[in-house]
Amino acid sequence: MNAKRRRFAGITLGVLGALALAGACSQPSAAGPGASIGDIAAARGLSEADISAAVKTYVPTGQFDEYMMFASGGHSGQALVIGIPSMRLLKVIGVFTPEPWQGYGYGSEEHAQLMEDGDMAGHEIRWGDSHHPALSETDGDYDGQYLFINDKANPRLAVIDLRDFETKQIVQNPLFGSNHGGAFVTPNTEYVIEPAQYAVPLDGTYAHIDEYEERYRGAVTFWKFDRDAGRLDESESFTIELPPYWQDLSDAGKGPSHGWAFINTFNTEMATGGVMKGNPPFEAGASANDMDYLTLINWEAAARVADEAGKTVQIQGRRVIPLQTAIDEGLIYFTPEPKSPHGVDVTPDGQRLVISGKLDPHATVYEWDRIQTAIADQNFSGTDAYGVPILDFDAVVEKQVELGLGPLHTQYGSNDIAYTSLFLESAVVKWSVSQGVVLEKLPVHYNVGHIAMAEGDTRSPDGNYLVSLNKWSIDRFATVGPLHPQNFQLVDVTGDQMQLLYDSPIGIGEPHYAQIIKADKLAAWETYPQIGFNPATMSPAEDIATTGTERIERRDGEVHVYMTAVRSHFTPEHIEVNQGENVVLHVTNPEQTRDATHGFAIDKYNVNLSLEPGESQVVRFTADAAGVFPFYCTEFCSALHLEMAGYLFVRP
């Protein structure tokens, strides 16, 4: 050990010693190894409930979690993968935002195209406000194949393949100003539902706010999913024009209500804001009415109408069913719902819809049989200003159950039990939908938005666990500055009483929705199945090198570098080009050992790849800066990892 290292080690030990002493003064330390559980609990001041909570979340090393939660990454634009019950963060999937570890968005041709597909209005958009992840479904149950997620800020959807947990597609919706109530899938993932949020002119042009009622519109898009291709198919998708109200959450009918979609609709007042012009502010104007509307859409019939000649118009290249056509064809109905609605959640049997209005302490339970009867009997209480029939409220509502303050979102456990988040009360309420009674309330910390339960929005919920996705954490964690962590709280719902088990700060904001799938439904690959695999097409790449065929070729005005990355070298190690030449790198990792990933980063050229075992990627760049640029492997892949390097020489 040289002198410098000794000094460093000395400082470290000193700091640790000081920390240990400080710890000993401020709180009792844990008893040492070999101490009994009783001794440890006494030393740390733990109650029996604390110990039971700790044991319930503990997953011993080498063992796996029973469930996986896919959570929105909020402003990060990503999707989080978290094990349950351990709450261990397993992955941050790069979706709308570049992700350096996965080399997502830093050079590869395919990623560049994926991200460009999401650019809007001439702007390069490299973030998202992801709200609602949706796992693909078969017969109303998660099938573990795909994940969809929306970007509310810029109306986009992404498709993630759960074989390699990578984003495969980003689609944009030029008709919308933003979206919110997606992604939600129909029971066989026939469609991914994407309702707009704020109304805008659908043709993308300017219209004065005074023309709001004539020119601004709401809308909902049904994106056709091609499961074999693993892509949303724009040409088979369609949009339905809606009045200029604002859409919020949505859900798809299942079982008896299969074929229908339900969307909460607010600002039915058509408030246009403009507080500095003397108008009521949006928050008052858009919540003046006691009732807003639940929008009911027959998507199965709408899909047929969309295919009929003359029933759609093209707006910005998209197929749109005009509102009047939707009314005439019986595709759309409204029914009143309590003011400022937020969540709409179909029960597992598809017989009921539970709706929460943020400013009403009740959950309103609608019955599907009654809705169908009201439609058949044309039992309308009128139409709205645009001619949409309004189903009579009393005819379709089964009951209203007083749950507490600020009910938002409902999930389902087993045996007819529902759980609803209470935003204003910072609590989760457990209640019986069929009996209409509240069973229990559990305080959470704090300002809960969504809750997620094990398979809690499928046809067969598991119960077992509930995660409360809290906006605030206030006093739960050490202060890390004025921007506090946001908090996932794990709750055990197996017993008569809910038990709070674990606080999990997520390090990014803001959590919206999550879905929890039984882990054994997922069948992710451990390595890519063939050497030279292209994750963008999920098939073998053609124009690549494997071990022994590495080379540099000049053709068609480009320098093609066929490279392999194997522990612990790149071949070739020297790339010599002239300034201004176009370089195409074809890099393959021919390893088939689990976890033998190599990175590939070029100094100052903003190129950064992750080459997982078997993976092949193509990078194109112009060697515009002359000089000497080392490239190296960014994964500590072997003892000789630091030697896994090379040079890009760019001759002036």
Contact residues for ligand CUA, defined by CB under 6 A: 568, 598, 633, 635-637, 641, 644
> Min. distance of Cβ 53 from ligand CUK in angstroms?
25
Closer to ligand CUK by CB, 72 or 108: give it. Answer: 72
Distance CA 503, CA 74 (A): 18
Picked from ligand CUK, ligand CUA, none, the partner binding residue 545 (CB below 5 to 8 A depending on kind) is none
Closer to ligand CUK by CB, 132 or 352: give it. Answer: 132
Residue listed under structure tokens 């909570």: 53
Give yes or no for residue 157 binding ligand CUK (CB under 6 A): no
Tell me which of 92, 303, 321, 408 binds ligand CUK, using CB under 6 A.
Answer: 408
Least Cα distance to 485 among 469, 468, 506 occurs for: 506
DSSP element (H, E) containing 590: none
> Min. distance of Cβ 545 from ligand CUA in angstroms?
17
Question: Which residues, numbered 441-470, are part of the site for ligand CUK (CB under 6 A)?
Answer: 449-450
> Min. distance of Cβ 591 from ligand CUA in angstroms?
9
According to DSSP, the residues that pair with 453 across neighbouring strands are 466
Distance CA 206, CA 500 (A): 50
Give yes or no for residue 512 binding ligand CUK (CB under 6 A): yes
Contact 408, 342 (CB under 8 A): yes
Contact 211, 165 (CB under 8 A): no
Spatial CB neighbours of 52, under 8 Å, sequence gap ≥ 6: 499
Least Cα distance to 596 among 538, 520, 519, 531 occurs for: 531
Picked from ligand CUA, ligand CUK, none, the partner binding residue 408 (CB below 5 to 8 A depending on kind) is ligand CUK
Number of C-beta neighbours around residue 492 at 10 A: 19
Give yes or no for residue 506 binding ligand CUK (CB under 6 A): no
Picked from ligand CUK, ligand CUA, none, the partner binding residue 249 (CB below 5 to 8 A depending on kind) is ligand CUK
How many residues sit close enough to ligand CUK to count as binding (CB under 6 A)? 11
Closer to ligand CUK by CB, 197 or 298: give it. Answer: 197
Question: Which residues, numbered 328-387, are part of the site for ligand CUK (CB under 6 A)?
Answer: 342
> Min. distance of Cβ 75 from ligand CUK in angstroms?
12
Tell me which of 111, 131, 254, 319 binds ligand CUK, using CB under 6 A.
Answer: 131
Amino acid found at 559: V
DSSP codes, 271-299: ----GGGTPPPHHHHTT-SSEEEEEEEEH
Question: Which residues, numbered 229-268, are part of the site for ligand CUK (CB under 6 A)?
Answer: 249
Picked from ligand CUK, ligand CUA, none, the partner binding residue 400 (CB below 5 to 8 A depending on kind) is none
Residue showing the smallest CB distance to ligand CUK in the complex: 449
DSSP 351: S
In the 3-class helix/strand/coil scheme, how is 310-322 assigned residue by residue? CCCEEECCEEEEC
Distance CA 499, CA 49 (A): 9
DSSP 28: P
Strands in 16-151 per DSSP E: 67-72, 79-84, 89-93, 130-138, 141-151
Q: Which two tokens stand for residue 541?
A: 């790449």
In the 3-class helix/strand/coil scheme, how is 456-482 assigned residue by residue? CCCCCCCEEEEEEEECCCCCCCCCCCC
Closer to ligand CUA by CB, 477 or 636: give it. Answer: 636
Give yes or no for residue 490 binding ligand CUK (CB under 6 A): no
Closer to ligand CUA by CB, 620 or 641: give it. Answer: 641
Spatial CB neighbours of 202, under 8 Å, sequence gap ≥ 6: 175, 217, 219, 241, 315, 316, 320
> Min. distance of Cβ 567 from ligand CUA in angstroms?
6
Picked from ligand CUK, ligand CUA, none, the partner binding residue 449 (CB below 5 to 8 A depending on kind) is ligand CUK
Closer to ligand CUA by CB, 231 or 641: give it. Answer: 641
> Min. distance of Cβ 417 from ligand CUK in angstroms?
21
Closer to ligand CUK by CB, 249 or 391: give it. Answer: 249
Picked from ligand CUK, ligand CUA, none, the partner binding residue 450 (CB below 5 to 8 A depending on kind) is ligand CUK
Picked from ligand CUA, ligand CUK, none, the partner binding residue 296 (CB below 5 to 8 A depending on kind) is none
Picked from ligand CUK, ligand CUA, none, the partner binding residue 88 (CB below 5 to 8 A depending on kind) is none
Contact 567, 639 (CB under 8 A): no
> Min. distance of Cβ 460 from ligand CUA in angstroms?
44
Picked from ligand CUA, ligand CUK, none, the partner binding residue 586 (CB below 5 to 8 A depending on kind) is none
> Min. distance of Cβ 495 from ligand CUK in angstroms?
27
Contact 452, 475 (CB under 8 A): no
Binding site for ligand CUK (CB under 6 A): 131-132, 180, 249, 342, 408-409, 449-450, 512-513
